[in-house]
Amino acid sequence: MVIRILHKPAHLRGTVALLGDKSVSHRALILNSVAQGTATVNGLSLGEDVASTMGCLQATGVVIERLDAPDVVRVVGSGGQLQEPEDVLDAGNSGTTMRLLSGLLAGQSFMSVLSGDRSLRSRPMGRIVEPLSCMGAKIAGRKGGAYAPLTVSGGGLKGIEYTLPVASAQVKSSIMLAGIQAEGKTLIHQPALSRDHTELMMRAMGANVVEDGTTICMEPAQLTALDVVVPGDISSAAFWMVAAACHPDAEVTITNAGINPTRGGILEVLEGMGANVALLNRRVEGGEPVADILVRSGSLVGTEVGGEVVPRVIDELPVIAVAACFARGKTTIRDAGELRVKESDRISTTVSQLSRMGACIEELPDGMIINGTGHLTGAECTSEGDHRIAMALGIAGLLAEGRTVVGGAEAASISYPTFWDEVDVILAGTGA
């Protein structure tokens, strides 16, 4: 287990580079794997989750080669026909890998088995097993199909009309990946909008995917390979945004961040808290909106986070809880019960770890209440193996008085393997 020790620097200044967006990277690999033609993906996430997706796709016979840089790969499209894997597909810690690949494999007429680490094997899979089974796939899993390992015997799918019980981009994308391989139309009704990278990329690859409010209507399609330039990961940017917004003497620029509105909840929440955030150099790259984000110290106030913004900020809620500790007044986070089934129970881990640092924070069944006191005190904390908790605690350690120890710091490499290097660079610039 890797331990990181942090102190609050006198100032936080500099430029932070992001790695490619994790969600877009998964989709660029998966969709190109079943497309016709060859594509280059530039700026691929170097996180372990995306490496899990790459490994699983390679095990089904897809040729994916790294080119001149580690974040540039070539995907040779299979045209839609994958090969039966010889062994269990290992999704590691990645819910996106397991859920999206289950949808993809549901359309393939062979058997595959998907498993992952202890955290992933405890996360709910019934939410994909049910719709994929309705489409005609034969899927079995532990506890009646509720948990991985999953065996998927696919092929012969029919389109369905399905109402998602939760606003989940993973479930939606899983059904869409089955839908492109099914006979007839697939209609998906969402309770609220979640990230729409699958819709955007499938359409750019030639599929007929139509969105009408929160409903998606799609038809089977043969995708055409698409070169993708992956924007920087806004979910990684969020850590630096909170660090700069809460530190009393900060000015941080985060370059090349994807600001797709279905992911941009962090911008709305921080602006609602009075943070000093500016979007510079707004542009569109590879069909996704991108900007540089400049954040300066601000005087934050508490806020309410709930309702339709939640799916657009779901991964950022632990670090928003850190920001709330430094805001004046009360912050309430509700409608976020999904946090309980992430890589850890993020309501419980956020509350327990920030409590160790003196936060005035209490657990709700579907969120938390934080009374901002304007400070945290360094303490010994643990990530509990969850990447976003490791990084939220790292940021808390840069803002707290005294010494913070983060155990399980290596978890950051699931989505942001250069996070601690960026911390070192920022600290070196302060002479700390």
Q: Shortest Cβ contact with ligand S3P: which residue?
A: 23
Encoded tokens for 71:
């974040």
CB nearer to ligand S3P: pick between 18 and 250: 18
Dihedral sign computed on CA atoms, order 132, 214, 20, 36: positive
Q: β-pairing, 111-115 with 89-90? A: parallel
Say how far apart CA 367 and CA 369 lie, in whole Å.
Answer: 7
Task: Based on the shown chain and the rule CB under 6 A, indicate whether residue 168 belongs to the binding site for ligand S3P.
Answer: yes
Q: What is the largest CA-CA distance in the chain?
A: 62
Total binding residues toward ligand S3P, as defined by CB under 6 A = 12
Residues 14-33, interacting with ligand S3P (CB under 6 A): 23, 26
CB 386 within 8 A of CB 346: yes
What is the Cα–Cα distance from 375 to 319, expressed in whole angstroms?
Answer: 15
By annotation, the residues acting in catalysis are 315
* 96 scored as a contact of ligand S3P (CB under 6 A): yes
Q: Two tokens at 160?
A: 């369905």
* Residue 175 or 369 with smaller CB distance to ligand S3P: 175
Instruction: Return d(Cα 159, Cα 132) in angstroms, integer.
Output: 10
Q: What angle do CA 308, 313, 319 make, to 5 degrees?
A: 140
**If you search the block for the tokens 């600001």, which residue do you land on?**
259
- The mark string for 261-300 relative to ligand S3P (x by CB under 6 A, - otherwise) is ----------------------------------------
Indicate whether 170 belongs to the interface with ligand S3P (CB under 6 A).
Answer: yes
The minimum distance between CB 183 and ligand S3P, in angstroms, equals: 25
Taking the complex as a whole, the smallest distance from the CB of residue 413 to ligand S3P amounts, in Å, to: 15
Between 315 and 386, name the residue whose CB sits nearer to ligand S3P.
315
The CB-of-270 to ligand S3P minimum distance in angstroms stands at 19
Instruction: Tell me the two tokens of residue 148.
Output: 């991985």
Q: Which stretch binds ligand S3P (CB under 6 A): 166-174, 257-265, 346-354, 363-371?
A: 166-174
Report d(CA 418, CA 407) in Å as an integer: 17
CB nearer to ligand S3P: pick between 128 and 399? 128
Q: How far is the CB of 346 from ligand S3P (least distance, A)?
A: 10
Rounded least distance, CB 248 to ligand S3P, Å: 31
Q: Which residues of 366-388 are buried (b: 16+ CB within 10 A; e: fewer)?
A: bbbbbbbeeebebbebbbbbbbb
**What residues numbered 189-208 form the site for ligand S3P, per CB under 6 A?**
194-195
Does residue number 62 form part of the binding site for ligand S3P (CB under 6 A)? no
Beta-carbon contacts of residue 103 (< 8 Å; ≥ 6 apart): 128, 132, 173, 174, 175, 176, 177, 178
Q: Which two tokens stand for residue 233?
A: 């990961």
Site for ligand S3P (CB under 6 A): which residue of 44, 221, 314, 391? 314
Which residues contribute to the site for ligand S3P (CB under 6 A)? Answer: 23, 26, 96, 168-170, 173, 194-195, 314-315, 338
